[in-house]
Amino acid sequence: MVAKIIDATVDINDKDLNSVVAAIENGKLVVFPTETVYGLGAIANNDIALKNIYLAKGRPSDNPLILHIYSKEDFYRYSKQNDKLLDFLLDHFTPGPITFIVKSQDSISKVVTAGLNTVAIRIPSHKIARKILKNCSYAIAAPSANISGKPSATTNKYAYEDLKYSVEFCVDGNEAEIGVESTILDLTTSPPVILRPGKITAKEINDKLKQAGIKTEVVYNDNVNNSNLDAFDLVPKAPGMKYRHYAPNTKVVKLTCTNLDRQLREIERYILNNNIYPNDKISILCSEKLYSEVLKAFPSYQWEAIISNKYNDVYLAKHLFESFRKLDINNSRVIFVEAVENKNLGIAVMNRLNKACGDK
Ligand code: TXA
Ligand code: MG
């Protein structure tokens, strides 16, 4: 059976909503939109359905899933942790693109947590996701809706492409607004640690905490995610971080941001060092400004380009995963991606880009 696509680009009608909710309650898998990336959902109290998520994605079973819930009130059904800091963060940052790691209630399935005594919980803000969650009797466990190791799906088209034979419905809720996955904040340690950067940054959280006179500061160090011996002497976290992520088949190479001459030299060096010849195909995701210089400097190659005149952190977050899929074409020798500044949403995007380049 191939998945049925439900058009929820404007809204979801009651009949479709009921069908989607019934399928989930009956242990079927469903692709649904969120503001970050598309999710592959199953009801989180049905171990067979949960195991089917791992099978559909080809995901290792030691990589736990995020519980998606409708509201703050539901949070404590799943979280044993209940403290002032958590309460404050829920009030200020949800619904939205942030996931909290907390001590889990004993009732949570071990298939969700991969045997850990902590659980990841998120309250998404996407209108359609919220309608589905509101009508389900239990949390929906959902990883990103992509085959493991492939870029996360930011449109229904790509989720469908990856998962159409595994799910009952693909709910099309338009292109994901943000385009990179949620910030993951681990609240089981002191200080709390950001395990995966997302739209909500450490700075944004710390500014809010400071304003409210709360002394806690959350920490983020990109190396925490990338090494086994992390800087804070914690046990390895975010198990998913150890797997290769976000990578197209074609080699991805990051170009420095801002300095045009350096960017051109980086391209030249790569072309020369990797036996790329005239008429070879090369992919590039960059600003219009850089692309016009590239065409002048390297006219004899076949360029496949995705370009923008508003190339910044927000643009790149929204288009990085989609561009990986579009530029990962037959015979392309390399995908060059122009970097953006490592601040705001740029922190999350550069984290994904570095992983796609194969940085460990
Ligand atoms: O934006 C998002 O978070 C999307 C949408 C669909 O909500 N979901 C998503 O899920 O990105 P996924 O499964 O692709 O990534 C979840 C990450 C994994 O790296 C996993 O290892 C980590 O969360 N994780 C889940 N439970 C955890 C736990 N108890 N402790 C540490 N890390 C955990
Ligand atoms: Mg994922």
Phi-psi label, residue 233: left if phi above 0, alpha if psi -120 to 50, beta otherwise: left
Compute, in angstroms, the gap from residue 34 CA to the centroid of ligand 2: 13
Q: Which of 51-60, 164-173, 323-332 has the lowest mean pLDDT?
A: 323-332
Pocket of ligand 1 (CB under 6 A): 34, 36-37, 39, 63-66, 99, 101, 113, 116, 118-120, 122, 142-144, 181-182, 184, 195, 237-241
3-class secondary structure, 325: helix
User: In terms of Cα–Cα distance, which of 220, 253, 224 is closest to 339?
Assistant: 253
The predicted-structure confidence for 44-78, as pLDDT tens digits, reads as follows 999 999 999 999 999 999 999 999 999 999 999 99
* Higher-scoring residue by pLDDT: 150, 185: 185
What span, in angstroms and rounded, lies between the C-alpha atoms of 358 and 360? 6
User: In terms of Cα–Cα distance, which of 55, 3, 53 is closest to 167?
Assistant: 3
The predicted-structure confidence for 12-23, as pLDDT tens digits, reads as follows 999 999 999 999
Among protein residues, the one with the nearest Cα to ligand 1's atom 19 is 240
* Higher-scoring residue by pLDDT: 150, 8: 8
- Going by pLDDT thresholds of 50, 70 and 90, the confidence category of residue 152 is very high
pLDDT at 146 > cutoff 80: yes
User: Mean pLDDT, to the nearest integer, of 325-340?
Assistant: 93
**Does the global pTM surpass 0.85?**
yes
Assign 3-state DSSP to the chain and report helix, strand, coil percentages, each to 5: 35, 20, 45
